[in-house]
Amino acid sequence: LGLVETTVDGGEGAAAGAGASGPRDAAAQFERWLATQKCLERWPPPDPLLAADGVGNRELSGWLTACGASKKGRSTFVKRVSQEARAQLSRMRAKRLGPPTPGSPPPRKLQVKVTAIEDGRAFMVRRGNYKLRASAAHMRKLRYLYRLHTGRHMDAPAKVREQRSNDAVFNLLLRYESLQGGGFQAAIPGAVFEVLRRRFGVFCECFASPLNARYSRFCSAFLDTDGFFGSVGSFFKFRPKSGAFEANPPFVPEVIEKMHKHIAELLGDAESHGRSLTFVVIIPEWKQDEGWQKLKASPFLRAFMHVAQADHMYFEGKQHLRRKKHRVASFDTSIFVLQTAAAAAALPCDAAVEAELLRAFAYEGGDDDDAGDDDSDDGVDVAADDGASAEPKPGPDPSPNPRPSPNLKPKPKRKPNPKPNPKPHPKPNPKPSP
């Protein structure tokens, strides 16, 4: 990261030509490099996180040029980062697969410990010397999702179930902490999700994580850590036949262009079979990018909406670590509603729907936002409060009455008021009075 910071010129206006780049801090550059590499690399990838084959180096070099980096700085940065990624990957493979040193004791299994901090408002998840933090609301949500999607563990003793849950939560938090940034994990407001579900039947996100997912099923970048919490894997390997989906990808031109190609393929196949398929795509309004232009020219485009930068907000990518959950958008936003003919006939995006979506996106200031509050009971929407950050509400689909973790004390149930015994009715006189 130190190399990244010294590579880019910090002068004002250095990124004037990089309107599609976002922040120029080191973490954002590192996150962008990872996203580009993972988008373009071969399948299956050599590692879930590290990108070591250098397929995105040309794009990264071009972006650094737009940010004002010198030719020597660009070359040094791209070369060093790729070399370091390959070296780290080799070391990890050797550690995982190599034979143990003769005479060395077997590796000790370190237990994950979860403790409440900040008067119960957050939790510290620790394994050895690694300490990770998450808000109490996110911990409740993660544990609910884990119980929902790992029924095979329910026969184990309570202590074993708790330890497995803690292990999965630790691995998840560490994976996303390794991304350094968080800008590519930002989420749209809960009110927007509610409109999409009510108007189009959206029930799944194409780009999410267990930390910011709105629904109990979603696509994410890391199936190995996220699958325990409901992820179905990469969107680029996801092939739905019908339904409605929300796509808010990482704001990287290469990812947006690849997303368009995959969506166009899915819509074309559904159209040829007369099926109903909808994608609501939400991306920055980068008109100069090829991905944006292709979406705007799509034959499946049924509606397009422009949202001004100052008029809307996103929820922080690291909302599980921050008290202030939302931020004003950095760019104007474009909303594309792509539908097959069957979907457009059944669920048209008319002027009333467009107006409702724009109202849901509106930024009204302040730190509190109730857009994520949801009173529905259909069991699909698992988020509440602060843009998909709280405990989900079980419905018909989840297992009934999941047992809460011992570390999270449920609110005590109120005792019902004792009802007085009713007075017995007098027995009627069998002999009527004269």
The pLDDT value recorded for residue 178 is: 82
**Are 217 and 203 a contacting pair, CB within 8 Å?**
yes
Q: Check residues 374 and 247 and name the one with the higher pLDDT.
A: 247
Return the pLDDT at 22: 40
Beta strands 326-328 and 313-315, pairing class: antiparallel
Band (71; pLDDT cuts 50, 70, 90): confident
Lowest mean per-residue pLDDT among 77-91, 128-142, 367-381: 367-381
Mean per-residue pLDDT, 300-309 = 92
Please tell me which residue, 111 or 43, carries the higher pLDDT value: 111
**In this structure, are strands 333-339 and 277-284 parallel, antiparallel, or unpaired?**
antiparallel
- Distance between CA 386 and CA 326 in Å, rounded? 8
Nearest-Å Rg of the Cα atoms of the chain is: 26
**CATH of the domain spanning 190-361, picked from 1.10.10, 2.60.200, 3.40.720, 3.40.50:** 3.40.50
The mean-pLDDT minimum among 38-47, 250-259, 288-297 falls in 38-47
- Token pair listed for 251: 């704001």
DSSP bridge partners of 126: 113, 131
Give the residue among 171, 170, 177, 180 at the shortest CA–CA distance from 123: 170
Among 97-101, 150-154, 231-235, 258-262, which is the least confidently predicted range?
97-101
Minimum mean pLDDT among 70-74, 169-173, 350-354, 422-426: which range? 422-426
- pLDDT above 90 covers what percent of the chain? 37
Taking the domains of the chain in order of start, what are their residue ranges? 1-8+24-95, 113-178, 190-361
300, pLDDT greater than 50: yes
Stronger pLDDT, 412 or 227, i.e. the higher one: 227
Task: Give the per-residue pLDDT at 282.
Answer: 94
Compute, in degrees rounded to 10, the torsion defined by CA atoms 231, 233, 239, 245: 40
The CB density around residue 395, as the number of other CB atoms within 10 Å, is 15
Residue 164 CB contacts under 8 Å (≥ 6 apart), including other chains: 150, 153, 156
SS3 246: strand
Rounded Cα distance between 385 and 391, Å, is 9
Reported confidence tier of residue 100, pLDDT bands at 50, 70, 90: low
Q: Which residues contact 229 (CB under 8 A, 6 or more apart)?
A: 142, 145, 146, 149, 168, 172, 210, 213
pLDDT at res. 404: 37
The confidence score (pLDDT) of residue 180 equals: 66
Q: Of 41-50, 206-215, 224-233, 248-257, which range is least confident?
A: 41-50
